Amino acid sequence: MAFKIFPPYALNNTPIYTVDLEDNVLGKANNNGSIIINKNLNPSAIKKVVDHEMVHVDQFKRGDLNYDDKNVYWKGKTYSRSKMKEGSPTLPWEKEAYNKTKQIT
C-alpha cells in the first residue's frame, strides 16, 4: 500500500516584490506568476494585499484571466483597459478576489 506524505506547511513559490507603485495602487499580480506590492504599505495591509493578488495568480493558473498592454481577458471575453477603471470591484475578476479576501482598508 502506497501512502502520500504531505509536508506540514503550505508550499507557495509565488515571488513577491515590494516596489515603488503609484499612490493609489496597493499591489499587482503579474501573468508571469509574480506579485508586486507597493513599498509604502503599512505592515498590517501587506497580508491583505498579498491574499487579494494571490486570487489573481490563481485565476491566471486556471486560465480564466490574462492581460496584455491593451486588454484584459476574462473567461474568453475581452475588456479594453482604456475603457475600465482597473482594480474596480465591479470587474468580474476583481469580484472574485474581493469575495475571497477581506476588504482592504
DSSP string, 39-101: TT--HHHHHHHHHHHHHHHHHHHHTSEEE-SSEEEETTEEEEGGGS-TT-TTSHHHHHHHHHS
pLDDT in tens, the chain (105 residues): 566 666 666 667 899 999 999 888 999 999 999 999 999 999 889 999 999 999 999 999 999 999 999 999 999 999 999 999 999 999 999 999 999 986 554
Angle at 101 between CA 99 and CA 104, to 5 degrees: 110
Question: H/E element holding 19?
Answer: strand 16-19
Edge-to-edge strands of the sheet including 71-74?
65-67, 71-74, 77-80
* Measured distance CA(22)–CA(58) in Å, rounded: 24
Residue-level pLDDT at 105: 47
pTM beyond 0.75:
yes
